[in-house]
Chain A
Amino acid sequence: MKQIVVISGKGGTGKSVLTASFATLAKNKVMVDCDVDAADLHLLLHPVIKERHQFRSGKKAVIDRKLCTGCGSCIAVCRFDAVSGGFAIDPISCEGCVLCSHICPTGAITMEENLAGEYFVSNTKYGPFVHAKLGIAEDNSGKLVAKIRQVAKEIAERDKLDYVIIDGPPGIGCPVIASLSGVDCAVVVTEPTLSGLHDAKRVIEVAGHFKVPVKLVVNKYDLNEEMTGAIENFCGDNGVTVIGKIGFDKAVVESMVAGKTIVEYCDGGIKEEIVNIWGKVAV
């Protein structure tokens, strides 16, 4: 079983469009959407939810007003500015460190378990799909990513599937690292812009840091072929294989509006290119 993650550094370069195409092309796989705070893959895969689970993670402090004497010890020790002058906890700022509950001399602060989101195991016409919804303004996205990856891996092992295909989040921080750790291959999707190159460099460095092999795809490569050349040069100098270049095509947005994956929506150049790319990812 191989785990493959699609990441980009920069947002909006086409991760979910490419991942959804892999869903139609790969056989025997489970799909995972690890962009848990702005998940989009479900808009193309149309899951029917089979299992729904609460994701509890971390704790939040709560002050019992009857016991609170207003001494201010909690305000003095809290490093997250989560206690207001009126001795109420701001649950969005509270990082659940528990320090205030230990410090409070009257025992007025207790910690309550935090519902950080939900995750789902679904059926799609492409096979099983594990996805999640982080609660509004919640933290713990990295832990939710780790959870749904574990669920997907268990499905893959149980059903003897060949691939776990992961749609990753943008950036290089906590949820990206959680999406990336321990995978067999990272497909970096970028675009031929200075920002795209800058961000791809950083995310390739992160993959290198975690010893994950990288393959790169340039999306909308013909919007600036000179920049595409610069990206290819960078990859050549750094031992990263460029496995495909996808041309700009209005059909991509049309397919999204139609709620279909691009390889199902259209024939021709762009479809062939993505089929080729999957062939190079799957080896």
Chain B
Amino acid sequence: MIISVASGKGGTGKTTIAVNLALSLRNVQLLDCDVEEPNAHIFLKPEIKETFSAFIPIPEVDSEKCNTCGKCREVCAYHAIAVIPSNGETKGSVLVFPHLCHGCGACSLLCPQKAIKEVHKEIGIVEIGTAKGIQFVHGKLNVGEVMSPPLIRQVEDRIDPTKTVIIDAPPGTSCPVIAAVKKSDYCILVTEPTPFGLNDLVLAVEVLRKIRIPFGVVINRSDIGDDKVDKYCQGNKIPILLRIPFDKGIALLYSRGIPLVQEKVEYKDKFRKLFDCINKLSVLKAK
């Protein structure tokens, strides 16, 4: 079973839920797919055993073979290629803008001169390790890189289907979130009972309905704000899986990078119940 943890709004507690759920179960793999700002390692302090570079393919033009016909520029949907034509005296050339390239392969496949080959460009790293019996994988986007979805997909290539897989997703509702939650069987949406929390929860719900992934809600800092998140969930038949009240002690543990279940052991039971609840909901859905 693959469970992703997402939220429209940032800072609602995705990493807290993902890490503590992982620490409460057996035979678990945790993937931190918030590759722009990964934080799960701060709490799990994994021993990293393998590090890989994550690449995307970008074009490299062989100037000997290239006759600057312009086909590559014409087919590139991302304006990642410019062609400077020959002016009779100097030979023309092709410029590649790697940050705009999506690595689709169109230019190299369609070049009439077969002058384009693809080379690897590093966009980040994938690290694999273990922490407290959990198999740990995360991705880290290089600073200044634009595109996180290819790196997220490379983190998810490491999914071990024999384990309970927990995916810590990035905030928001756009392509990186889709890339992170797409393979999951169930998604936990973490929110807080504030107007911002509700606004972004509604957006996240729309995304999950569109990509047809079943989901439930965890309300963090459940005793602040107002009751509109509750009412929204009731009105839309969305299960509320867990409520965690605001507690300065929890906030302090978080600030020091200490997992909640390590100090407040009673939460282990709550996270196991959360997992049982998801299992039951999934079985019901299958029937």
Tell me if chain B binds chain A: yes
Binary contact track B197-209/A, C-beta < 8 Å → 1, others 0: 0011001001100
Please pick, from B11, B37, B171, the residue contacting A172 in the complex, using a CB distance under 8 A. B37
Chain A residues with CB under 8 Å of B178's CB are 92, 137
Residue from B8, B11, B173, B207 with most neighbouring chain A CB atoms (10 Å): B11
Give Cα distance in the complex from A155 to B252, angstroms.
44
Q: Does A194 contact B143, Cβ atoms closer than 8 Å?
A: no
Give Cα distance in the complex from A169 to B200, angstroms.
13
Please pick, from A43, A138, A171, A196, the residue contacting B36 in the complex, using a CB distance under 8 A. A171
Chain A residues with CB under 8 Å of B146's CB are 142, 173-174, 177
Number of A-B contacts defined by CB within 8 Å: 186
Give Cα distance in the complex from A87 to B248, angstroms.
54
- B96 CB → nearest A CB, Å: 15
Judge if B88 is at the interface, Cβ distance under 8 Å.
no
> In chain A between 97 and 111, which residues have their CB closer than 8 angstroms to a CB of chain B?
97-99, 102-103
- A254 CB → nearest B CB, Å: 9
Please pick, from A10, A77, A176, the residue contacting B109 in the complex, using a CB distance under 8 A. A77
Give Cα distance in the complex from A5 to B197, angstroms.
22
Residue from B102, B109, B171 with most neighbouring chain A CB atoms (10 Å): B171
Q: Does B109 contact A40, Cβ atoms closer than 8 Å?
A: no
Question: Which residue on B lies nearest to A80, using beta carbons?
Answer: B104
Give Cα distance in the complex from A155 to B9, angstroms.
29
> Main SS of chain B's interface residues?
loop
Question: Which residue on B lies nearest to A175, using beta carbons?
Answer: B174
Binary contact track B172-211/A, C-beta < 8 Å → 1, others 0: 1111111000000000000000111001100100110011
Q: Does A195 contact B257, Cβ atoms closer than 8 Å?
A: yes
- A161 CB → nearest B CB, Å: 27
Judge if B75 is at the interface, Cβ distance under 8 Å.
yes
Q: Does B173 contact A134, Cβ atoms closer than 8 Å?
A: yes
A98-B106, A195-B257 known; A10 vs B195 contact (CB < 8 Å): no
Please pick, from B141, B200, B206, B256, the residue contacting A40 in the complex, using a CB distance under 8 A. B200
> In chain A between 234 and 280, which residues have their CB closer than 8 angstroms to a CB of chain B?
250, 253, 256-257, 259
Please pick, from A59, A196, A198, A202, the residue contacting B143 in the complex, using a CB distance under 8 A. A202
Judge if A227 is at the interface, Cβ distance under 8 Å.
yes
Give Cα distance in the complex from A171 to B203, angstroms.
18
Chain B residues with CB under 8 Å of A102's CB are 75, 106, 110
Judge if B1 is at the interface, Cβ distance under 8 Å.
no
Judge if B222 is at the interface, Cβ distance under 8 Å.
no
Q: Does A99 contact B106, Cβ atoms closer than 8 Å?
A: yes
Judge if A205 is at the interface, Cβ distance under 8 Å.
yes
Q: Does A256 contact B77, Cβ atoms closer than 8 Å?
A: no
> In chain A between 183 and 206, which residues have their CB closer than 8 angstroms to a CB of chain B?
191-196, 198-199, 202-203, 205-206
Chain A contact patch, size range: 35 or more
A12-B12, A99-B109, A142-B146 known; A224 vs B252 contact (CB < 8 Å): yes
Chain B residues with CB under 8 Å of A59's CB are 77
Give Cα distance in the complex from A174 to B152, angstroms.
14
Chain A residues with CB under 8 Å of B106's CB are 97-99, 102
Please pick, from A99, A136, A176, the residue contacting B210 in the complex, using a CB distance under 8 A. A136
Q: Does A40 contact B196, Cβ atoms closer than 8 Å?
A: yes
Q: Does B37 contact A174, Cβ atoms closer than 8 Å?
A: no
Q: Does A136 contact B207, Cβ atoms closer than 8 Å?
A: yes
- B78 CB → nearest A CB, Å: 8
Apart from A37-B177, A99-B109, A137-B210: 14 A-B pairs, beta carbons within 8 A:
A16-B196, A37-B172, A37-B203, A79-B104, A92-B211, A99-B75, A99-B106, A172-B143, A173-B145, A192-B255, A194-B42, A202-B143, A210-B144, A224-B255
**Interchain residue pairs with CB less than 8 A apart (30):** A11-B12, A12-B9, A13-B10, A37-B174, A37-B203, A40-B196, A40-B200, A43-B199, A77-B109, A99-B75, A99-B109, A134-B173, A137-B173, A141-B175, A172-B37, A177-B144, A193-B254, A193-B257, A194-B256, A195-B42, A199-B39, A202-B37, A206-B143, A209-B144, A210-B144, A223-B248, A223-B251, A253-B194, A253-B224, A257-B195
B residues within 8 Å of A by Cβ? 8-12, 15, 34, 36-37, 39, 42, 75, 77-78, 102-106, 109-110, 141, 143-148, 170-178, 194-196, 199-200, 203, 206-207, 210-211, 224-226, 248, 251-252, 254-257
